[in-house]
Amino acid sequence: MKRPARPDLRSGLQEASSRGLFVNLEQAYQDLPATTCARRGACCGLLPPVFTVELAAWLHRLPATPYKERAAQARRLVEHFLGNAAQRRACPWALAEACAIYQDRFLGCRTYGLWSREAYQTRAAQAAQGQEAVAAAWRGLGVELPSEVLAPAPPYCLQVKPLTGPVPDDAFIEGLEERALELSRDLPQSLGRLHDFGGDISFAVAALALGQPQALSLKVAVTKALLAGDKEEAAELLAKAGTAAKRWAQSF
């Protein structure tokens, strides 16, 4: 199963680049101070939600990535999407004490540890409500998600420190998020489909590589197989999806 990148996606990404949207996104990133953390990535276990313009920027960079690496990224993201309802899976880019795409990491990664404690707790509570809504949807399919998948967000981190200057306040970070939202709204109409993935880059890649209906049906099948303890069935499904993901990456 080989799904070449659609011409409207390619042309839309090129148009977004020519209009400077990705440069503007990078400028927003640069408005945040460089940081250091004594815990060296200990909190970076979960795949962060991304703004649509960040998804588009990642897709735009993908063809310039060496084939083996982009194929591996696509495979890991697809496997993450298919299996993350049954297992608490690490971010596909998480390395031991490091990040595989640190220079190109997303805004959620860059602002982690910079929010005030109160703002972070509010966001963690909102995330927990979102998890419960997801769990309820799965119950409608007759699936009870394991507690490890519904575990709370990492505790507030006190170890993130700017290398220079003061910690930006919550209003400043919210302003950067609004800029990312505005850039997302300014994406070409041909990229409108990218808004459908709810900030989940693993869902986006799975849908692009497999087709959205197939990605969703495979997610249900893999989840049920893993929760039933049928590791062989799950491994077979994941292997086929991983092969399709690598073929998609090759054609992108």
Counting residues of the chain whose pLDDT is more than 90, the rounded percentage is 77
- Mean pLDDT throughout 25-43? 87
Q: Return the SS3 of 229.
A: coil
Q: Are 229 and 87 in contact (CB under 8 A)?
A: no
Q: Are 43 and 154 in contact (CB under 8 A)?
A: yes
- Mean pLDDT throughout 166-190? 97
Model pLDDT, residue 43: 75
Each residue's pLDDT tens digit, 36-48: 887 776 677 789 9
Q: Is the pLDDT of residue 1 over 50?
A: no
Global pTM value = 0.93
Q: Is the pLDDT of residue 12 over 80?
A: yes
Averaged pLDDT score across all residues of the chain: 92
Alpha helical stretches, state H, the chain: 7-18, 21-30, 52-61, 67-83, 107-111, 117-139, 170-185, 201-210, 212-227, 231-251
Each residue's pLDDT tens digit, 214-228: 999 999 999 999 999
User: Residue 123: CB partners within 8 Å, gap ≥ 6?
Assistant: 115, 153
pLDDT band at 98 (very low <50, low <70, confident <90, very high): confident
